[in-house]
């Protein structure tokens, strides 16, 4: 799980961060305005491609994507990671 957390955090930093923003595992991504609802689609696509899973739209809610830790919780369902 630690590996997923680091990979997702790095991806968020690389793709969505504006200069001056800082994020950690609990930083609100969606409600914090770092990732908007449109960009969330590309984040979902990254997770699906990287971990060869399919995340149903019903599970890909702004709440479930609101931090790296929450995303990792969601990913547990699909990857079986502990």
Partner 1 sequence: MIATKDTPNIGSYEERIKGFDWSISEKELEYRKGGPINIGWYCTDRICQKGKGKKLALIWEGMGGKEHSYTYDDVRVASNTIATFLKGLGIAREDRVCLFMDKIPELYIGFVAVLKMGAIAQPLFSAFGDESLLVRLENAQTKAVITQRKHVHKIRKIRQQLPHLQHIIVVDYDGKKPLEEREVAFSLESAKPVESFDVCPTEAESPSVLHYTSGTTGFPKGVKHVHYSLISQYLTSRWALDLRDDDIYWCTADPGWVTGTSYGIIGPWCLGVTQCVLDVGFSAEVWYKFIEKHRITMWYSAPTAIRSLMKAGDEVVKKHDLSSLRYLASVGEPLNAEAVVWSEKVFGKPFHDSYWQTETGSIMITNFPGMKVKPGSMCKPFPGITATVLDPKTFEPIPEPGRIGLIALKPGWPSMMRTYWKNEEAYQKKFKNGWYLTGDRARIDKDGYFWFVGRDDDVINTAGHLVSPFEVESALLEHPAVAESAVVAKPDEVNMEVVKAFVTVKPGNTASKDLELEIMNFIRKKLSPLAMPQEIEFSPSLPKTRSGKIMRRLLRAKEWGQEIGDTSTLEDDA
Residues that bind partner 1 (CB under 8 A): 15, 18-21, 28-39, 41-42, 45-46, 48-49, 61-63, 66
Maximum C-alpha span of the chain: 35
Instruction: Say if residues 49 and 11 touch (Cβ distance below 8 Å).
Output: no
Query: Between 2 and 18, whose beta carbon lies closer to partner 1?
Result: 18
Query: Between 14 and 82, whose beta carbon lies closer to partner 1?
Result: 14
Gap between the Cα atoms of 78 and 59, Å rounded: 11
Query: Between 6 and 31, whose beta carbon lies closer to partner 1?
Result: 31
């Amino acid at each position: 799980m630690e590996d997923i957390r680091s990979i997702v955090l790095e991806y968020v930093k690389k793709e969505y961060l504006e200069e001056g923003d800082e994020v950690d595992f609990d930083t609100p991504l969606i409600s914090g305005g770092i990732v908007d609802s449109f960009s969330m689609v590309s984040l979902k696509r990254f997770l699906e491609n990287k971990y060869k899973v399919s995340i149903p739209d019903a599970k890909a809610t702004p709440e479930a994507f609101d931090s790296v830790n929450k995303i990792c919780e969601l990913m547990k369902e699909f990857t079986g990671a502990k």
